């Protein structure tokens, strides 16, 4: 069935370092790939997204890359700050009406 795998499940970095989270998806018809950040006890919020006709998108310290051939997309956070600490979920919108979420990555940024 449709699936999104996300790695790593936990990531710890030093403040100022970069963090990379990787996802792969199974449905080749997937065309939209959002990333959500969920702080402890709060709602998931969209931080960046990318569509299947684009290979890379950047918004300040956050960037997302997409490799459609490999069915792989990644989130890159540069110059990490303690407030970046949260759970990050990747997701893929399939050819139908479905959003499949990855299992999440818990990011710790140590000051």
Partner 1 sequence: DAMVIQNPRYQVTQFGKPVTLSCSQTLNHNVMYWYQQKSSQAPKLLFHYYDKDFNNEADTPDNFQSRRPNTSFCFLDIRSPGLGDAAMYLCATSRKTTGTEQFFGPGTRLTVL
Cβ atoms of 101 and 94 closer than 8 Å: no
Candidates 23, 84, 102, 107: give the one binding partner 1 (CB under 8 A): 102
Considering the complex, state which of residue 16 and residue 46 has its C-beta at the smaller distance from partner 1: 46
Size of the site for partner 1 (CB under 8 A): 22
* Euclidean distance between CA atoms 81 and 32, whole angstroms: 27
Segment contacting partner 1 by CB under 8 A, of 16-24, 36-44, 61-69, 72-80 = 36-44
Considering the complex, state which of residue 97 and residue 111 has its C-beta at the smaller distance from partner 1: 97
| Torsion angle defined by CA atoms of residues 104, 36, 75 and 18, in that order, rounded to the nearest 10 degrees | -80
Strands 105-110 and 10-14: parallel
Asked if 101 is part of the footprint of partner 1 (rule: CB under 8 A), the reply reads: yes
* Euclidean distance between CA atoms 65 and 77, whole angstroms: 12
Asked if 49 is part of the footprint of partner 1 (rule: CB under 8 A), the reply reads: yes
- 94: number of Cβ within 10 Å: 18
Cβ 16 to partner 1, closest distance in Å?
Answer: 27
> Which residues make up the interface to partner 1 (CB under 8 A)?
31-32, 34, 36, 42-46, 49, 51, 87, 89, 93, 97-99, 101-104, 106
């Amino acid at each position: 069935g449709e699936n999104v795998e996300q790695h790593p499940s936990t990531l710890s970095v030093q403040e100022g370092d970069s963090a990379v989270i990787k996802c792969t998806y199974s449905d080749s018809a997937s065309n939209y790939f959002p990333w959500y950040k969920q702080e402890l006890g709060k709602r998931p919020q969209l931080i960046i997204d990318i569509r299947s006709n684009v290979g890379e998108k950047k918004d300040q310290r956050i960037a997302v890359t997409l490799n459609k051939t490999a069915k792989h997309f990644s989130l890159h956070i540069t110059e990490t700050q303690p407030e970046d600490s949260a759970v990050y979920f990747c997701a893929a919108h399939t050819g139908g009406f479905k959003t499949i979420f990855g299992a999440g990555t818990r990011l710790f940024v140590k000051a």
